[in-house]
A and B are shown apart, each in its own frame.
Chain A
Amino acid sequence: DSGVTQTPKHLITATGQRVTLRCSPRSGDLSVYWYQQSLDQGLQFLIQYYNGEERAKGNILERFSAQQFPDLHSELNLSSLELGDSALYFCASSVAWLYNEQFFGPGTRLTVL
């Protein structure tokens, strides 16, 4: 158990819908990362927050957004869902914002029908 929690574990929804994925980092970690793992693209970095502020952005679609709250939990919002958004979404956390080992949550499996 990494200490990072993600909810829900599984999510099934329809195209065009909007969903919110939630992540709680390990106690003491200030940085949260979001990753997407799909069959055709593998693991890809989406976005990083550190202590409430966005620190780095990767291949995140405009339909996706994220935020980190004062209690350091983070949410990833996915809207206007398409079939291709079906994937495993992982959250990871680390102590600092740079050059740190990252600890991964169990992931949320999103299926868009």
Chain B
Amino acid sequence: KNEVEQSPQNLTAQEGEFITINCSYSVGISALHWLQQHPGGGIVSLFMLSSGKKKHGRLIATINIQEKHSSLHITASHPRDSAVYICAVTWEYGNKLVFGAGTILRVKS
């Protein structure tokens, strides 16, 4: 069983739709990261959070430490949002990232 679980594995949306990707983890963490990987392969760090909520443009990330759960929301989705979204955690007292399997998002125009 993976220590970091993401859902859904695949997601297809119409342009303009509100999108939610979920991430659950099994033990205490010091931080949770949301990453974006485009078809070309490069990885971009979207958010790093340890509590509450962060917003950047149309992207919102939330985390509930008690429930060991985080969500990434995309408002007014656009075809350029099509990518793989990866959740990763840093365990308490650790400094390596442990990754989820990723969510493949396709936004159709």
Using a CB–CB cutoff of 8 Å, the interface residues on chain A facing chain B are 2, 33, 35, 42-45, 48, 55-56, 58, 88, 90, 92, 97-104, 106-107, 109
- The size bracket of the interface on B is 20 to 34
Residues of A close to B90: CB separation below 8 A: 99
Given contacts A42-B101, A99-B30, A99-B90, contact A104 B96 (CB under 8 A): no
Using a CB–CB cutoff of 8 Å, the interface residues on chain B facing chain A are 30-31, 33, 35, 41-45, 48, 86, 88, 90, 94-99, 101-102
B41 touches A107 (CB 8 A): yes
From B96, B97, B98, B101, residue with most partner A Cβ within 10 Å:
B96
A56 touches B45 (CB 8 A): no
B86 touches A56 (CB 8 A): no
Complex formed: what's the CA distance from A58 to B44 in Å?
22
Task: Supply 18 A–B pairs (Cβ within 8 Å), ascending by A.
Answer: A2-B45, A35-B97, A43-B99, A44-B99, A45-B97, A48-B95, A48-B96, A92-B43, A97-B95, A98-B30, A99-B95, A101-B48, A102-B33, A102-B97, A104-B43, A106-B41, A107-B41, A107-B42
Residues of B close to A55: CB separation below 8 A: 95
Which residue in B30, B31, B35, B95 is a CB contact (below 8 Å) of A56?
A: B95
B99 touches A56 (CB 8 A): no
Complex formed: what's the CA distance from A104 to B86 in Å?
13
Give the shortest distance, in Å, between A92 (CB) and chain B (any CB). 8
Which residue in A42, A45, A104, A109 is a CB contact (below 8 Å) of B45?
A: A104
